[in-house]
Amino acid sequence: MNRPRLHWGTAIAAVYTLFAASTMGFVFFALSRPVELVSADYYERSLTLDARLSAIARTDALGPRLRIDADASGDALAIAMPADLAASARGHVTFYRPSDERADRTVPLAVDREGRQRIPLAGLAKGRWLVRVEWTAGGLAYYREQALTR
């Protein structure tokens, strides 16, 4: 019994057709996915990168005098900064959700005289968050970003 043989030209055509079909399938898949930048003002923020790096260096120089920790129960975020910066500190705390920008939340920074603030975490979904604390004190900018897992 003779089996039909596949001609080499037919095999090459089949490979090219399969490649083209898979490429088109990937293109349709890619076009159907939502395209979101990290933030709406992504390009404007890139222009202020030097100022942000200076603020990070200034914050790093504070060392352990600045703490951002979830409390033992995980119900609140505790921020502690040096008391000498607390009097003139003005800024905000942003809870950034990398997987869903609609879940982001911003809270004003309102530390007491000792430089402490407690922010309840009620309403935040479980998962990974980035806590961004950004403030100015004495005319200088400060910035700290820290991961938080609920």
Q: What range does the domain containing 120 cover?
A: 42-149
101: left (phi over 0), alpha (psi -120 to 50) or beta: alpha
Is 15 among the domain residues?
no
**Tokens describing residue 66:** 């600045």
Pairing of strands 76-80, 67-70: antiparallel
Q: Which residues contact 78 (CB under 8 A, 6 or more apart)?
A: 67, 68, 69, 70, 71, 116, 117, 118
CATH number (domain holding residue 92): 2.60.40
Is 11 among the domain residues?
no
pTM surpassing 0.75?
Answer: no
Is 35 among the domain residues?
no
pLDDT tens, 69-126?
988 777 899 999 998 888 899 999 999 988 887 889 999 999 998 999 999 998 888 8
Is 30 among the domain residues?
no
**Tokens describing residue 93:** 């705390």
Is 1 among the domain residues?
no
